[in-house]
Amino acid sequence: MTHILLKNITVKTLVLAASLLLISTTQAQQYIFPENGQSKEQQQQDEYTCHSWAVGETGFDPTATQTQNSTAATPVPEQNKSRRGGGMRSALGGAAAGALIAEIGGNDVSNGAAKGAAVGIVSNRRHNRQANAQVTQQQQAQQQQTEQAQQQSNAQTANYNKALGVCLDAKGYSVSS
C-alpha cells in the first residue's frame, strides 16, 4: 500500500512539502490564518508560491544554507603573545651581543653584557606589547564583521518577511508576528 501512495505523489508535491517544512522552521514567529475559507492544501500551495515570489523579489532565501549569506568568520591567528622564556632569551642574546661589541671595541665586557641584556629585555617587552595590540585589533575587526553580517542578515530576513506577508495578504490570508 505504501508503494501505491508513493507513486501518486508528484515531485512537485514533494518539493512543496519540503519547502513548507523549511519555511515553517525559519518563519516560526509568523502565524498565517486563511480569511476566505482556503483548505490546508490551498494554504500550503499559496505559502509555497508566496515564498518563491518573496525570494525572487528580495534575492534572499531564509531556507538556503546561511553560509552563503554570511561572511565566514576568519579565526584570529594565535600569535606568540609572550615568547616562552622570551625575556630570558632576549636578555642572554642581548648580553652576548653587548659583550661581543664591547670586546671588539676594547671596552669592559661585563658592562657591555649588562647593557646588552637590558636592551634585549626592553626589545622583548616592546615586541610583546605590539603582538598583544595586533591580536586585540584583529579580534575587534572580526567582532565588527560578525555584527555587520548579523545586521545584514536581520535586514534581509525582515525584508523577506515583509514581501511574504504582502503576497499572502493579497491571496486572502491574515499574517501576524
Rounded to whole angstroms, how far apart are CA atoms 98 and 118? 10
Enumerate the β-bridge partners of residue 33: 174
Overall number of domains in the chain: 2
H or E stretch at 101: helix 86-105
Categorize the per-residue pLDDT at 7 as very low, low, confident or very high, splitting at 50, 70 and 90: very low
DSSP H or E stretch at residue 31: strand 31-34
Q: Is residue 137 part of a domain?
A: yes
pLDDT at 122 (0 to 100) = 79
Q: What pLDDT does 163 receive?
A: 95
pTM over 0.85: no
What's the pLDDT band for 11 if we cut at 50, 70, 90?
A: very low
Domain enclosing residue 126, as ranges: 86-150
Tell me whether residue 79 is in a domain.
Answer: no
CB atoms within 10 A of CB 110: 12
For the segment 39-69, what is each residue's pLDDT rounded down to a tens digit?
Answer: 999 999 999 999 999 999 999 999 886 554 4
The H or E element that residue 175 is part of is strand 173-176
Same-domain check for residues 102 and 132:
yes
Indicate whether 76 belongs to any domain. Answer: no
Q: How confident is the model at residue 29 (pLDDT cuts 50, 70, 90)?
A: confident
